[in-house]
């Protein structure tokens, strides 16, 4: 047995191999050795039409009494001053940093300027404590020739009527004098007719000659009343809703196939109540065409109703604004919300113009969207929240009440 032989080779004692985790290259990720977890299943976010602020009001608001009037200016003493005040506060001022270019700003201002100076009777009721006193004063001011009433039938009944409005007589006369398509003699004669009949809403056709009536109808100051009927008879027959118009079944059935009369005629939209009630014609229409159209209206019968230009866009803006405010109120659990919260929803959550908001914007933090991207400015041209609220309150769509804790509250009328 050689002396170099030892028991080291046959020893059963072994050392464990040292494992260095940093030297392992089985994976390219340094986080592979960490314990793995399954991804957390997050619940779906709330829909966009539900605000997180609703969670703060899980119960009904306290009712400490209804608010009878929304008038904040104590200098308003009569209906005429209310009409002037409401007309001047219909829209908010265009913000300096609203995110709108010069073209959009010009479009907004031109649209505002084109609207007639109409204030609905419902709005006046919301600004005066007693509706009975308001109605008596309206009748007295109409007899005195200070205000005039304009009615668009088929737009509701009573206090909820959208098409019943008041206009100051001086504003009505100003619109007639500014109408470039009317002759000066016709302007003076028409103003004298209105001043001599301050409470008249409908004028007989015998008062006007054909050229005078057609000119006033083109300008939007008169509209035919032949298509107007009793609102209670709208559903009495299949042809009642369009009785007396070119769109009635009896008129279309007698028209030649393929002609304009078979689809209601060229002025079907305005005869059905659309637009401002004026007869819209292109520049290619001649005097003979105007005469024939007026004779056609005479044959249909009926009188001529007083109207104002661009009344149609005004009514469409009013109806859509009422509907939008009611949809914002419907987002709350009990269809009621504090006044400040409803105002924020109407404004669209825009950025405030204070020092804190400007500092956050400078740091790049989110402080709200620009006003020009909200529906208030894109669809309603900057319509004031207080103006829309007064419209809904006077029409009986909402109730305003004192809460005693969070200011005033608004709830939808049942």
Cα 337 to Cα 328: distance, rounded to the nearest angstrom: 10
Lowest mean pLDDT among 2-6, 220-224, 225-229, 283-287: 283-287
Q: Using 50, 70 and 90 to split pLDDT, how confident is the model at 44?
A: very low
Could you give the angle at the alpha carbon of 236 between the alpha carbons of 231 and 240, nearest 5°? 70
Residue 186 pLDDT greater than 80, yes or no: yes
Q: To the nearest whole number, what is the mean pLDDT of the chain?
A: 75
Q: What is the DSSP letter of 303?
A: -
pLDDT classification of 250: cutoffs 50, 70, 90: very low
The band of 35, judged by pLDDT with boundaries at 50, 70 and 90, is low
Task: Please check whether residue 94 is in contact with residue 108, taking contact to mean a CB–CB distance below 8 angstroms.
Answer: yes
> Is the pLDDT higher at 291 or at 228?
291
Higher pLDDT, 43 or 361: 361
Q: What is the per-residue pLDDT for 373?
A: 85
| 136-159 pLDDT, tens digit each | 999 999 999 999 999 876 665 444
Q: Give the N- to C-terminal CA distance of the chain in Å, as an integer.
A: 114
CA dihedral 170, 386, 163, 136 (to 10 degrees): -60
pLDDT of 190 > 90? The answer is: yes
Spatial contact of 260 and 271, defined as CB atoms under 8 Å apart: no
As a whole number of angstroms, the distance between CA 33 and CA 24 comes to 10
Distances (CA, A) of 91 to 109, 156, 377, 386: 10, 24, 10, 10
For the residues of 14-55, what is the DSSP string, one character each? -PPPP--GGG--S-S-TTTTSPP-PPP-PPPPPPTTS-GGGG
Beta bridge partners of 147: 168
pLDDT beyond 70 at 248: no
Dihedral of alpha carbons 248, 249, 255, 257, sign: positive
Closest to 226 measured CA to CA, from 163, 304, 307, 164: 304
Q: How far apart are CA 264 and CA 253, in angstroms?
A: 10
On whether the pTM is more than 0.75, the answer is no
Spacing of C-alpha 351 from chain mean position: 22
Q: Tell me the mean pLDDT in the region 404-410.
A: 88
- Cβ atoms within 10 Å, residue 275: 20
Most confident of 144-158, 239-253, 272-286, 351-365: 144-158
Please write the tens of the pLDDT for every residue from 152-182.
766 654 445 576 899 999 999 999 999 999 9
Q: Quick check: 38 pLDDT over 50?
A: yes
Q: Tell me how many helices (H) and strands (E) the chain has.
A: 15, 9
Q: How confident is the model at residue 381 (pLDDT cuts 50, 70, 90)?
A: very high
Between 252 and 344, the more confident residue is 344
pLDDT of residue 43: 45
Cα separation, 71 vs 55, whole angstroms? 31
**Lowest mean pLDDT segment, chosen from 163-167, 273-277, 374-378:** 273-277
Could you tell me the pLDDT band of residue 239, with boundaries at 50, 70 and 90?
very low
Q: Which residues contact 211 (CB under 8 A, 6 or more apart)?
A: 287, 290, 291
């Amino acid at each position: 047995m050689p002396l170099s032989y030892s028991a080291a080779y046959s020893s059963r004692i072994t050392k464990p191999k040292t494992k260095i985790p940093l030297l392992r290259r089985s994976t390219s990720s340094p986080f592979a050795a960490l314990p793995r977890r399954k991804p957390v299943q997050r619940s779906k976010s709330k829909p966009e039409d539900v605000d997180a602020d609703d969670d703060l009001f899980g119960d009904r608001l306290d009712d400490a009494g209804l608010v009878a009037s929304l008038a904040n200016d104590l200098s308003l003493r009569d209906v005429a001053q209310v009409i002037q005040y409401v007309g001047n506060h219909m829209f908010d001022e265009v913000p300096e940093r609203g995110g709108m270019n010069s073209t959009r700003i010009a479009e907004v201002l031109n649209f505002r300027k084109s609207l007639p100076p109409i204030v609905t009777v419902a709005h006046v009721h919301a600004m005066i404590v007693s509706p009975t006193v308001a109605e008596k004063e309206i009748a007295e001011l109409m007899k005195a020739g200070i205000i005039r009433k304009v009615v668009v039938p088929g737009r509701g009944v009573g206090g909820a009527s959208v098409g019943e409005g008041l206009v100051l007589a001086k504003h009505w006369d100003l619109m007639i004098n500014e109408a470039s398509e009317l002759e000066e003699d016709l302007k003076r004669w028409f103003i004298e007719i209105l001043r001599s009949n301050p409470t008249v809403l409908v004028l007989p056709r015998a008062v006007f000659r054909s050229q005078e009536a057609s000119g006033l109808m083109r300008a939007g100051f008169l509209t035919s009343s032949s298509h107007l009927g009793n609102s209670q008879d709208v559903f009495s027959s299949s042809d009642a809703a369009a009785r007396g118009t070119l769109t009635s079944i009896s008129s279309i059935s007698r028209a030649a196939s393929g002609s304009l009369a078979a689809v209601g005629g060229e002025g079907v939209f305005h005869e059905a109540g659309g637009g401002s009630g004026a007869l819209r014609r292109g520049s290619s229409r001649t005097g003979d065409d105007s005469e024939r159209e007026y004779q056609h209206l005479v044959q249909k019968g009926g009188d001529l109703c007083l109207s104002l230009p661009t009344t149609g866009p005004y009514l469409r803006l009013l109806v859509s604004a009422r509907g939008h405010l009611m949809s914002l109120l419907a987002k709350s659990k009990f269809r009621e919300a504090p006044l400040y919260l409803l105002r924020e929803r109407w404004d669209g959550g825009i950025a405030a113009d204070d020092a804190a908001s400007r500092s956050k914007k400078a740091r790049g933090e989110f402080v709200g969207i620009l006003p020009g991207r909200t529906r208030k400015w894109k669809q309603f041209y900057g319509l004031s929240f207080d103006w829309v609220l007064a419209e809904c309150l006077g029409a009986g769509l909402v109730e305003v009440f004192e809460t005693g804790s969070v200011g005033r509250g608004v709830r939808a009328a049942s």
